[in-house]
Amino acid sequence: MQKMIGKMAKMYPLMIAMGFMIVIIAFGIGYVNSQNAAAYFSTPKIERETTMMVQRVAIESVGLWMPTFKFLGIGLILGGIVMALRIIIDRLKSAGEEVLSNLPADKQLQMPVPPRYATMMPMVMIVGEMIFIAALGIGIWLSGIARTIFANPLPVIDAAGSSSALLNGVQTIHAVEGLLVPLKFFGIATEFLAITMGLATIIFILSSQTDMLGRLLNPAKN
C-alpha cells in the first residue's frame, strides 16, 4: 500500500497544475458572473424581477457551485504539496538506509520505526479531497434547485405559500448553503493537517538520522 502511494506521489506536479487551472477557470467564471450581476442590477427593479429570469438563474446557480469548484482546485494544490512532502520523506529514508547498508556489520544501527502519523498522512489528504468533491456535488445539486426556482419571476417566488415547492426549494438552498461553508473549510483544515503530518515526519527522520550519525561518530554515546 505504501509503495503504491509512493508511486502515486510522483504525480504531484500534475495535481498542483490541475488545481491551479481549476482556480483560474473559477476566477474567469466568477468574473463573467459578476458582469452579469452588474448588468442585472443596473436594470429597474420591476423589469429585472419579471423579465430577466434567465440572467437571475445564471447568477444564482453559478454562485452556488462555483465556490465549491474553486475550493476543489485549492484542495488539489494542497494535495500536491502533501504528495511532494511524501517524495521528500521517501528520499530521506532511502538515503539513510543506503548509508546504513554501506557500514560494517558491527556498526550497523537499527532504523527507528516511523511514527504512526507518517503512514496516516496520505489517507488524511485523500479524506480532504473527498470532502471537496462532496462539496462540489452538493453545490451542483443546489444549483439545479436554484435553476428551477429562479426560472420564475420574483413576485411569484415571494408569493409562494407555506409548504409550496418554491418555498421548500428556497429553504433547502439556504439550509444546505449554510452547511457548505464549514464543510469547505473543514476540507482545508484536513489538507493542512496532512501537510503538518508530513513536516512532522520530515523532522522525525532528520532528527533520527542526526542522532544515528552522532552515535556513529562518537561510539562512547552508545
pLDDT (tens, 9 = 90+) of the chain, 222 residues, equals: 666 766 777 888 999 999 999 999 999 999 999 999 998 888 888 888 788 888 889 999 999 999 999 999 999 999 999 999 999 988 888 887 777 777 666 666 777 777 888 889 989 999 999 999 999 999 999 999 999 998 888 888 877 777 788 888 889 999 999 899 999 999 999 999 999 999 999 999 888 888 877 777 676 555
d(CA 42, CA 25): 26
Place of cell 528520499: 91
pLDDT one-digit tens code per residue, 57-107: 999 999 999 999 999 999 999 999 999 999 998 888 888 777 777 766 666
User: Rounded to two decimals, what is the model's pTM?
Assistant: 0.86
**Contacts of 29-35 spanning 24+ positions with Cβ under 8 A:** 29/62, 29/66, 29/69, 30/62, 30/66, 30/70, 33/58, 33/59, 33/62, 33/63, 33/66
The grid cell for 123 is 489517507
User: Considering only CA atoms, which of 109, 112, 100, 94 is closest in space to residue 221?
Assistant: 109
One-letter amino acid of 142: L
Dihedral sign from CA coordinates of 182, 188, 194, 199: negative
pLDDT one-digit tens code per residue, 68-79: 999 999 999 999
